[in-house]
A = this chain, B = another copy of it.
């Protein structure tokens, strides 16, 4: 399952292809107050996970990249819409090591840039030539509704202390996993996959998405700002209901839960982050999150195993390995 050299090259190539197709694409468009921030966020890089997943899913069922590139760009544009609007809502002033759009410009500019990105995502999607475009547009749209619901749940949970692990899983299923799921599904449909292949790739992506989000929760307190481009412990400081916090609040011992309650009742400072991390460690929450990541990655692998052997299948296995080893 280790990434072979050729597979690693395939990711880099696809990433470069996506980067190249997004570079300067809106630079000359007017009004600048709309398109400059849009181009800025697209130039910010990122791992391009969703378009790569879409393209590999297309290839894994026999399709070629030309058939699905516009759809791949569409999911990347959609992803960037969620980043811009989420950064406003979460008050995240940096993104990928640079000022986020609402910080570099202002909230209104970021709001409108996000709106524009949704419409541009649909424009890219509709450039796709396929007899299945209606089904695909429906999947894409249902995905946006799910993402909004997931973001809403995330916000709703911030005011609560009694969120269960199951509720948390529903939330990340919508907020994070749904965009990966629709990426794989759309790629598989465009590649001409059978119903069972589409299903296998969708479930592969859904489990990958869950693992990915719980990893994100872990990286918040196990990585560094230099590596992630985000402030260390920012989820803790913002009282986000991460896997770790939900686990500690529902499975921690009485002392841990009381102390977490106290901390959550106060203004959380950077100095609290290490204490919270220690609570997570002592109460098995860190270990539980790591186990959950491992389980979801295994489930993803099982769904991948349902596919016939192809080079793209190997690439998806390497993609899984790459994501499971990520540090940012």
Chain A interface residues (CB < 8 Å from chain B): 30-34, 85, 88-89, 107-109, 111-112, 114-116, 118-120, 122-123, 126, 133-134, 137-138, 141-142, 144-145, 148-149, 151-153, 155-156
Given the known inter-chain contacts A31-B153, A88-B108, please indicate yes or no for A141 contacting B126, CB distance below 8 A: yes
- Please name all residues of chain B whose beta carbon is closer than 8 Å to the beta carbon of A156 when the two chains form the complex: 31-33
* Assembled-state Cα–Cα distance A155/B34 (Å): 10
Q: Which of B88, B122, B145 contacts A111 (CB 8 A)?
A: B88
Pair B112/A152 contact, Cβ less than 8 Å: yes
User: Can you name the residue of chain B whose Cβ is closest to the Cβ of A122?
Assistant: B141
State the Cβ distance, A190 to closest chain B Cβ, in Å: 15
Q: Which secondary structure dominates chain A's binding surface?
A: helix
- Please name all residues of chain B whose beta carbon is closer than 8 Å to the beta carbon of A88 when the two chains form the complex: 108, 111
User: What are 12 A-to-B residue pairs whose CB atoms are below 8 Å?
Assistant: A30-B149, A33-B152, A85-B115, A89-B111, A107-B107, A111-B111, A115-B115, A115-B144, A115-B148, A116-B149, A123-B145, A134-B134
Given A88-B108, A89-B112, A118-B118, 7 other A-B contacts at CB below 8 A? A88-B111, A112-B148, A112-B155, A115-B144, A126-B134, A126-B137, A134-B134
Copies of this chain in the oligomer: 2
Pair B112/A31 contact, Cβ less than 8 Å: no
- Please name all residues of chain B whose beta carbon is closer than 8 Å to the beta carbon of A32 when the two chains form the complex: 156
Given the known inter-chain contacts A123-B145, A141-B126, please indicate yes or no for A108 contacting B33, CB distance below 8 A: no
Pair A122/B144 contact, Cβ less than 8 Å: yes
* Assembled-state Cα–Cα distance A116/B126 (Å): 20
- Please name all residues of chain B whose beta carbon is closer than 8 Å to the beta carbon of A112 when the two chains form the complex: 85, 89, 148, 151-152, 155
Pair B141/A119 contact, Cβ less than 8 Å: yes
State the Cβ distance, A99 to closest chain B Cβ, in Å: 19
- Please name all residues of chain B whose beta carbon is closer than 8 Å to the beta carbon of A115 when the two chains form the complex: 85, 114-115, 118, 144, 148
State the Cβ distance, A156 to closest chain B Cβ, in Å: 5
Ranked 5 nearest A-B pairs via Cβ: A34-B152, A119-B144, A122-B141, A116-B148, A89-B108
State the Cβ distance, A33 to closest chain B Cβ, in Å: 5
Pair B122/A34 contact, Cβ less than 8 Å: no
User: Can you name the residue of chain B whose Cβ is closest to the Cβ of A118?
Assistant: B118
